[in-house]
Amino acid sequence: MTFDLTRHPHRRYNPLLDEWILVSPHRTNRPWRGGVESLPLERRPRFDPDCYLCPGNTRANGERNPNYESTFVFINDFAAVLPDVPMAQAGDESLFRARSVRGEARVICFSPRHDLTLAEMSPAEIRLVVDLWAAQTSELGARFSWVQIFENRGDMMGASNPHPHGQIWATDRMGAIAAREDKQQRAYRESNGTNLLRDYARQEGQIGERSVLENASWLVVLPYWAVWPFETLLLPKSPVRRLPDLDDGQRNDLAAILKALLVKYDNLFEVSFPYSMGWHGAPFDSGDNRHWQLHGHFFPPLLRSATVKKFMVGYEMLAEAQRDITPEQAAGRLRKASEVHFKLR
Ligand code: H2U
Ligand code: ZN
C-alpha cells in the first residue's frame, strides 16, 4: 500500500508554531446529527439608534461618538489591558509566577454603515481600513512592543455587535502565540539564512494547489498545516516587516485581495462568513527583526454549511488539533467560489 495524503490519516507540521496537526481525509463523509448553529439575522438598518458604534450614538461610558464618515477609533471602554499598572513580577522560580502587563485596547469602526461588513465594502473603503491599521500600528508601536490587530466577525466568533469593527490590543510583551512565531522565524533564519514565510510563499506560489488568490503584491494560501477548515494566510510577495511599511501599491493590492477573499468566504455557504482574523508583524523592540515577514491570518470556524462549525474539543484539547477535509480540498473550494457577492446575484 502506498501512502496517500488524500486518503490516509497523517500529521502535518506547522513551522510557524512548531506543532503538529492530525489530518483525517477519509472521514469527510461521516454523518452529522450534532448541533446546528442558528443563522444570523441578515437584515440590518444602515443606522441603528441602539448601536454603540454607530455615528452620533452614546457609548457605555457616556461618551458620544462623532458623526464619522469613514473610520473611527476609540479606547475600549472595557479594556482588557491598561496603561497604568505598576511594574512587578512575582514567584519567578516557583510554580506560581505572575508579572504585570501594560497596554492599551482600542476599538476600530471600519465604516459608519451599521449594515455592512468588510466583505460588502468597496476596495476603496477597505483601503481606508488598511491605512488605519497601519497608522494605529505605528502610533501604538511607539509606546508598546506588540500591537495586535484583530477582528472577531459574527455571533459564532463572539462578536458583541454586527456593526463592522475590529480591535487593537497593544502590550509591552508579545502574546504567547506571537512569541512562538518570533522564535520559529528567528530559528529558521539562523539555520537557513533566508526568511521562513518568504520561502514558504515562493514555494506555495509554485505548487499552486493551496493558493486561493494572488495579485501583484499578495498571495492568499490555505496553509499546508491549516487547523480550521477554511483557514487562510495572507502573505506579501516582497519583504515587509510591518503594516506601516506597505507602500501605496501594496495597500491597494491588499484592499483588493481582502475584498476578493471575503466575498469568496461569504459565497462558500451563502452566509456572512464568521471568522477571527488578525495581523502579525515584527515586534517594536530594538532587536534585529530581519527574520520577520508581515502576514495576516483568517480563522473561520465553519465546516460543512452555514450552520455547522468545527469544534475544537476532545482530541484537540487533549492531544492536538485535527481536521477532516484536506487543506488542498478546501483551497479548491475557495478557488471555485465566485468573486461576485451572493447578495448581488
Ligand atoms: P467585540 O464585538 O469584538 O467584542 O468588540 C466590541 C468591543 O467594544 C468590546 O471589546 C467594547 C467592548 O468592550 N465596547 C466599548 O468600548 N464601549 C461600549 O459602549 C460597548 C462595547
Ligand atoms: Zn452600528
Closest ligand to 64 CA?
1
Distance CA 244, CA 253 (A): 15
pLDDT score for 32:
61
pLDDT level of residue 35 (50, 70, 90 thresholds) = low
Other Cβ atoms closer than 10 A to 138:
14
Q: Is the CB of 53 under 6 A from ligand 1?
A: no
Q: Which of 163, 165, 291, 295 is catalytic?
A: 165
Mean pLDDT for all residues in the chain:
95
Contact 76 CB / ligand 1 (< 6 Å)? yes
- Taking CA atoms only, the protein residue closest to ligand 1 atom 11 is 76
What is the per-residue pLDDT across 95-142, written as a single tens digit (0 to 9) for each?
Answer: 999 999 999 999 999 999 999 999 999 999 999 999 999 999 999 999
Q: Which ligand is nearest to the CA of 165?
A: 1
- 11 forms beta bridges with 22
Is any atom of ligand 1 closer than 6 Å to the C-beta of 52?
yes
> From CA 220, how far away is CA 134, in angstroms rounded?
20
Q: Which triple of cell numbers denotes residue 90?
A: 512575582
Using pLDDT thresholds of 50, 70 and 90, give the confidence band for residue 345.
confident
Residue 220 CB-density burial (10 A; 0-12 exposed, 13-18 middle, 19+ buried): buried
Cα–ligand 2 centroid distance for 115 (angstroms): 7
Residue 198 has pLDDT above 80, yes or no: yes
Which segment of 12-16, 25-29, 178-182, 272-276 scores lowest on mean pLDDT?
25-29
Residue from 53, 75, 107, 109 to probe ligand 1 pocket by mutation (most atoms less than 8 Å from CB):
107
Q: What pLDDT, on the 0 to 100 scale, is given for residue 29? A: 64
* Rounded average pLDDT over 151-169: 94
Residue 175 has pLDDT above 80, yes or no: yes
Q: Is the pLDDT of residue 200 over 90?
A: yes
Strand blocks (E) in the chain: 10-14, 19-23, 72-75, 89-90, 98-99, 103-109, 146-153, 165-171, 211-214, 218-221, 232-236, 275-280, 295-299, 322-323
Catalytic-residue membership of 341: no
Residue 41 clears pLDDT 70, i.e. is over it: no
